[in-house]
Amino acid sequence: MRFFLDTVDVDDARRAREWGLLDGILVRPDAVASAGRDYRRSVADLAQVGDGAVVATVTAAEPKGMYKEARELHKLGKNLVIRVPMSREGLRVVRLLNDEQIATDVGLVFSPMQALLAARAGSAYVSAHVGALDDSSQIGMDVVDAIVRVYDNYGLQTQIVVDGIQSPVHVLDAATMGADVGVLPFAVLDRLFDHPLTSAGLAALRVHAGDGTRRVH
């Protein structure tokens, strides 16, 4: 499973790249606005950090506006993937962008049937937001599991993205189910390194290195 970092912070993206774990970046418009930054500038800056996909979201409501915005965003980097909403209008834009070989990600997907429609439209990615599903009293990972099974039934090539990951448990579930991509905040990615036994072993190694005599079992 590949890791897309959910961030607007260039420094966090660089740290993930140094670990060899930066496969892509998702740039959320609301996160950029909260940081008081310009969205297109943030996308362009993050597109320079690595070679993986940078997912940028269109915010226009109607197809012509989405299409125009998508083409402008795509100029910001060769690795740009355009996120469009799961809607009749959004899937029309997916088809138009496919004709120009611009990769798309369909977001706001909350059911296997919506994911099937996105794949039929030809989207490169489909994103199921497990955090939002959990918050609405559904089990988000059950939806992901159903999407994986539907795609496997028909050999669909659209990549399944688990968005809204909130904990390492979500990462484990996504990897176990065979999702293609997990979208992780930096804090969650950082926690994947940790385990109490690893921490204890590292502490023992430091003690051993300090006195030169104690053995690590």
Q: What is the pLDDT of residue 191?
A: 97
- Which regions of the chain does DSSP assign to beta strands (E)? 2-6, 24-27, 53-57, 80-85, 104-109, 125-129, 159-163, 181-185
Cα distance between residue 33 and residue 31, in whole Å: 5
Q: Among positive and negative, which fits the CA dihedral 125, 127, 54, 193? A: negative
Q: Where are the domains of the chain?
A: 2-211
Read off the pLDDT of each residue in 83-91 and give the average, rounded to a whole number.
97
Cα distance between residue 143 and residue 24, in whole Å: 23
Residue 198 pLDDT > 70, yes or no? yes
At 144, phi and psi to the nearest 5? -60, -45
Select from 75, 74, 157 the least CA-distant residue to 83.
74
At 31, phi and psi to the nearest 5? -70, -40
pLDDT, tens digit (0-9, with 9 covering 90-100), for 107-119:
999 999 999 999 9
pLDDT band at 216 (very low <50, low <70, confident <90, very high): very low
Task: Write the single-letter amino acid at 183.
Answer: V
Cα distance between residue 22 and residue 49, in whole Å: 9
Structure tokens at 18: 């140094």
pLDDT, tens digit (0-9, with 9 covering 90-100), for 17-30:
999 999 999 999 99
The answer to whether the pTM exceeds 0.85 is yes
Cα distance between residue 47 and residue 79, in whole Å: 7
Q: Are 83 and 94 in contact (CB under 8 A)?
A: no
Is CATH 3.20.20.70 the classification given to domain 2-211? yes
109 forms beta bridges with 128
At 135, phi and psi to the nearest 5? -65, -25
Q: First vs last Cα of the chain: how many Å apart?
A: 33
Cα distance between residue 127 and residue 196, in whole Å: 32
pLDDT, tens digit (0-9, with 9 covering 90-100), for 126-149:
999 999 999 999 999 999 999 999
Task: Write the single-letter amino acid at 87.
Answer: S
